[in-house]
Amino acid sequence: MSPFLPNATILLLAAIISTAAAAVTPSHTFLRSSCVSARHPELCISSIAASASLLHSISSSKDVIHASLNLTLAAVRRSIAGAKIISARPSLTSRERAAVQDCLEMFDETLDELRRADADLRSYSPGFASSKSLSRHAADLKIMISGAITNQESCADGFSHASDDRRLRLGILRGLTYIERMCENALAMIRNMTDGDMAAAAATEGRKLASRHDGFPEWMTARDRQQLQSADTTADLTVAVDGSGNFRTITEAVAAAPVKSKRRFVIKIKAGVYAENVEVPKNKTNIMFVGDGRTKTVITGSRNVVDGWTTFRSATLAAVGSGFLARDLRIENTAGPSKHQAVALRVGSDLSAFYNCVIIAHQDTLYVHSLRQFFRSCLIQGTVDFIFGNAAAVFQDCDIQARRPGLNQKNMVTAQGRSDPNEPTGIVLQSCRITATDDLEAAKGSFPSYLGRPWKEYSRTVVLRSEIGDFIRPEGWHEWNLDFGLDTLYYGEYENTGPGAGTVRRVDWKGYKVITDAGEAQQFTVGNFLEGSDWLGATGFPFSLGL
């Protein structure tokens, strides 16, 4: 073959190079520079570049994130349409149908979360006056995208219990994988943008970024602030099993509550046992449950996976509407250890809080599913993975008690489900008492117990200044499956006490560490991890912002 090219070939190559150079517009430049920080850069570029209208709309890095969110929203709508088609198949088992319905609910929530993130992004203008601090704006953006990611993971998890589910799981996974990766791209780009903006603001202004410190959201009226600060919270509706209230069931009271309320709506639940599975849906916002005491007002159920429910739908109480509060009541699932996953409380409510509550079951007691959650002075009891999920959840001054599990089971206090390293999520146990119930204490040598195990690859759990009983094994933590997640998780312990707090014999995983720097521990306090100074004052519950 001749080493020289014919003149015609040279001219053709020159034309191609010239055309390609002309096609590199400012929009392409912004796209490529922004997608560098994405988790999946190739997908980031190719998905947006495939749409001429989206590509031409890009004139900033923020526009790239908007474009990514718009494509993701479209993909979620396609998944909803596909799931509805699947749900209509007459051949589905009841278990499969339930899992598809769970997915449809979570897809619907994902649409809301992505729309909120997109709207927040439009109002994001560092350096200009805003009702939100820069750090709060960044936190809101990141937690909404994290919630969307968690919904895709939870949808897939719903098909993993039995072999007959897996055929459906594979079909649904294709859409889920695309949505999740697009969300991961948006989250990475948002983190890159907001981290840079906050660093620049701190450097140029030389001061701490502004934030509300009264703990009330901007929209709340002075009347509502005064009401919430009062120990006597007036009920809007009353539930009583004896008929002395407005309703006999909690479900009826929730149905009667206003839709998308911007003020706190208080439902008083009188002493009694309420045998019902209660759901506070996404359109019932700012609902507050107030019981007569955590030994007097009891919400009880027994749904479980063995009897055909999904883990997601097994919850005795499921709170999804944002701003949900509960105090002075007991929530339980009585299914027992032989029924495996059986949730007492599932929470997917952003800026939700629980005070002086009892939450009791066995496996999977408390599903801190997603978004931001706070628990104060609560009692939580369970066995396997009994605090699990992917919320940003902080537990303060709580009694966390492991129970005697079923035969050949191990107790795992936590199973945190963070699947992406940029998610602002994790389980934090601060100033808690981690102990064994009397039935476990008597047989603790027969049932190994651990602080947690990594449910997902970037699992994050931190134990701060808590008392740890001697029922916890010296290694402290347990693997999920061989070496899965051991290098990528973050498990930290800081200044804990008690006979089970020694760290000399703890696991030697790359992701585990004994925290010795107070500054690092401060990252996981209510003030920093939950932006608690912006909203917890509105709950009327006690809280501590720092260590």
SS (H, E, C) 101-156: HHHHHHHHHHHHHHHHHHHHHHCCCCCCCCCCCHHHHHHHHHHHHHHHHHHHHHHH
Distance between CA atoms of 516 and 530, rounded to whole angstroms? 22
Neighbours of 82 (CB within 10 A): 17
Half-sphere exposure of 198 (CA within 13 A, CB side): 17
* Residue indicated by tokens 């507050």: 288
* Residue numbers annotated as active site: 385
Compute CA distances 322 → 106, 178, 229, whole Å.
Answer: 15, 27, 20
Query: Do 172 and 156 meet the contact criterion of CB atoms below 8 Å apart?
Result: yes
- Return d(Cα 380, Cα 398) in angstroms, integer: 8
Q: What is the CA radius of gyration of the chain?
A: 25
The residues that bridge with 359 in the sheet, in sequence order, are 331, 380
* Cα 485–Cα 451–Cα 148 angle in degrees, nearest 5: 50
Q: Which residue reads 């943008």 in tokens?
A: 193
CB 175 within 8 A of CB 155: no
CA distance 161 to 151: 17
- Quote the Cα angle for 4-6-12, to 5°: 120
Question: 344: closest CA among 335, 353, 352?
Answer: 335
Within 13 Å of residue 385, how many CA atoms lie on the same side as its CB? 22
CA 196 from centroid of its chain's CA atoms: 24
Amino acid identity at 512: Y
CA distance 37 to 55: 18
Burial state string for 447-467 with b = 16 or more CB within 10 A and e = fewer than 16: bbbbbbbbbbbbbbbbbbbbb
Cα–Cα distance for residue pair 315/277, rounded to 1 Å:
7
Contacts of residue 208, defined as CB under 8 A and 6 or more positions apart, other chains included, come to: 202
